[in-house]
Amino acid sequence: VRVRSSSAVTVCLAVLCVLLLTAVIVLGVKFNTNYTEDTHQLLNKEERDGLSNNYGWVCYQSSLYFISSEQKNWNESRTFCMNKGADLIIINNTHKLLTLKSS
């Protein structure tokens, strides 16, 4: 009877060890994935803030806007934007325009 009970205990401990190891691996992968996503979001925020602070870009509702003090016609302005990897937009919302200009 003792041989059978010690074998049963050994099997139970082995199963528990395998389950614990599986849980540790799954949680490690999950947290590493979340950490990587958080790091990318932080880098994007730092890049966005760097653009905003250093180059005249303004962040508003998760979008970046560049407001130039130079006056150009539509085509020149659009070419300027395209050279920066952006596009020219028309802002019809007065509140949004005032918010962007004051930033």
What DSSP line would sit under 30-80, residue for residue?
A: HHHHHHHHHHHHHHHHHHHHHHHHHHSEEEETTEEEE--SS---HHHHHHH
Per the model's pLDDT, the better-predicted residue between 85 and 57 turns out to be 85
pLDDT value at residue 16: 97
Contact present, 58 and 103 (Cβ < 8 Å): yes
Q: Could you read off the pLDDT of 6-65 as tens digits, one per residue?
A: 888 899 999 999 999 999 999 988 887 777 776 666 656 666 566 555 566 777 777 777
pTM equals 0.41
pLDDT band at 70 (very low <50, low <70, confident <90, very high): confident
Cα→Cα distances 15→6, 7, 12, 19, 20, Å: 14, 12, 5, 6, 9
**Domain spans of the chain, in order of start:** 1-55, 56-103
CATH class of the region 56-103: alpha beta
Rounded to whole angstroms, the Cα distance separating 94 from 80 reads 24
